[in-house]
Structure 1
Amino acid sequence: MTLDAVTKITPMGVMILALLSEGDMHPYEMARLLRLRRDDRLMKITNGTLYHSVARLLEQGLIAEVGVDREGNRPERTTYTVTPVGSDVVLDWVRRELPSAEGSTKFRVALAEAHNLDREEVIDLLRIRQVALEEEYGLHAFGISEARAKGVPLQFLLEIERQQALLDAEVEWMRSLITRLEADEIPWGSAGFDDSDRYRAQRKAAQQ
């Protein structure tokens, strides 16, 4: 796996590859399933963006066509499958983005797909992010303290204060999450997934 392949993949591309790891799908099903699962809360999902991402993944060899079908008067639908390289890209992308304190969208997608990694690896990666967030919080706290000491009007510090509050909440949540993972309070991986009627109903609804 080349670093270039991992760095070029977008959060949308990762979500598509993760979907295809569940089974072969056509883009229309992918779009409906993402919306049914409310994954559109992570980023704006348009049909244009999704189809463009599918084309890029196909060009990169991360997915492959496995068939074309037509139902009634509907347009032809091409079904895709994830390639072994595509599966590896998802794992490597999550490994890169999960510990990073940069980019909220990328982290949210990485966190949503963290279940693809072993629990212990996820804990180690989250600890790296926790340290980075604590350092960033310390810098914000120091900056605010220095600004106040210099008499900077509070109205100019509102954005910094907000960011400090968000970082404080994020650090506390991260500590709690790591503790829960260490204590096996969160079922993980395939052992923690119930192939329920609700999941099957979602897949069926997305295929309509």
Structure 2
Amino acid sequence: MKDAVDRLTPLGLMVLALLREGEMHPYEMIRLMRIRRDDRMVTITNGTLYHTVGRLERAGLVAEVGVDRDGNRPERTTYAVTDAGTRAVSDWVRRELVRVDRPAEFRIALAEAHNLDRTEVVDLLRTRREDLAAQCTQHEDGLRGALEKGVPEQYLLELDRERTLLRSDLAWLDHTIDRIIGDALPWGAHEPTERYLEQRKLARQ
């Protein structure tokens, strides 16, 4: 399982997470991800998605469950996530939520954090916060030391920006952790909403 998770790409993770919602064919996956604007986080093309689904199937993370034909349209193979694929989603999200060196992967892990238990996500985000706080302190010390040595401020703009971003990220984490702990944020599985059902209908067209 570790090898499968290590080889799992961000797009592969998103495909697995999508299939946890129900069986789909690749065309529907592409349409649904674009409707939801998941292409903000990862590049989605027909070629890369079909290639990704093939890799996931060979790895035993998804399985073919049927072939659909609608009118004159080409046959569309429908896939479902396997038990191994479901575990891979949780393991990947668990790993990426705490890493501070992979911002692109963190965005996707955060988007799929609801696949983990609420209390586990809080613990993972607290671990992430500790590492970010250490980074922020390091930047603040470096900036202060450079100023004390007389380094002109125009040479320190990037360091100042990074410190500001880290402070903002820490404030966001504190707020989000409080929301999750206080049950103010709905969590886990839920009944399909009207908007979700409309998205699925559009994606199948």
TM tier, shorter chain?
over 0.9
Provide the secondary structure at the position in 2 that maps to 1:189: coil
Provide the rounded CA distance (Å) in 1 between the counterparts of 2:72 and 2:154.
61
Question: 1:34 offset after TM fit, Å?
Answer: 0.6
Provide the secondary structure at the position in 2 that maps to 1:165: helix
* CA offsets 1:156-176 (integer angstroms, 9 cap, x no match): 222221111111100000001
Provide the rounded CA distance (Å) in 1 between the counterparts of 2:88 and 2:175.
29
Question: What is the aligned partner in structure 2 of residue 153 from structure 1?
Answer: 152
- 1:204 is matched by which residue type in structure 2? K
Provide the rounded CA distance (Å) in 2 between the counterparts of 1:194 and 1:81.
19
Provide the rounded CA distance (Å) in 2 between the counterparts of 1:158 and 1:47.
41
Q: What does residue range 38-57 of structure 1 map to in structure 2 within 5 Å?
A: 38-57=37-56
Question: What is the aligned partner in structure 2 of residue 139 from structure 1?
Answer: 138
Give the aligned length: 205
Provide the secondary structure at the position in 2 that maps to 1:66: strand
* CA offsets 1:128-147 (integer angstroms, 9 cap, x no match): 00111101111111111112
Greater mean alpha carbon deviation, residues 41-50 or residues 75-84: 41-50
Question: What is the aligned partner in structure 2 of residue 200 from structure 1?
Answer: 197
Runs of 4+ aligned structure 1 residues displaced above 6 Å come to: none
Greater mean alpha carbon deviation, residues 169-178 or residues 193-202: 193-202
Question: 1:185 offset after TM fit, Å?
Answer: 0.7
Question: What is the aligned partner in structure 2 of residue 179 from structure 1?
Answer: 178
Question: What is the aligned partner in structure 2 of residue 125 from structure 1?
Answer: 124
- 1:4 is matched by which residue type in structure 2? D
Question: 1:27 offset after TM fit, Å?
Answer: 0.7
Question: 1:13 offset after TM fit, Å?
Answer: 0.6
- 1:137 is matched by which residue type in structure 2? C
Question: What is the aligned partner in structure 1 of residue 111 from structure 2?
Answer: 112
* CA offsets 1:56-112 (integer angstroms, 9 cap, x no match): 111111111112222233222111111110000000111111111121111111111
Question: 1:119 offset after TM fit, Å?
Answer: 0.6
Greater mean alpha carbon deviation, residues 126-135 or residues 100-109: 100-109
Provide the rounded CA distance (Å) in 1 between the counterparts of 2:96 and 2:140.
25
Which stretches in structure 2 are left out of the alignment for 5+ residues? none
Provide the rounded CA distance (Å) in 2 between the counterparts of 1:153 and 1:3.
48
Percent identity (aligned):
56
Question: What is the aligned partner in structure 1 of residue 8 from structure 2?
Answer: 9
Greater mean alpha carbon deviation, residues 172-181 or residues 159-168: 159-168
- 2:115 is matched by which residue type in structure 1? N
Greater mean alpha carbon deviation, residues 37-46 or residues 19-28: 37-46
Provide the rounded CA distance (Å) in 2 between the counterparts of 1:156 and 1:27.
49
2:35 counterpart of 1:36: yes
Question: 1:206 offset after TM fit, Å?
Answer: 0.3
Which stretches in structure 1 are left out of the alignment for 5+ residues? none
Provide the rounded CA distance (Å) in 1 between the counterparts of 2:51 and 2:101.
25
Superposition RMSD on alpha carbons, in Å?
A: 1.2
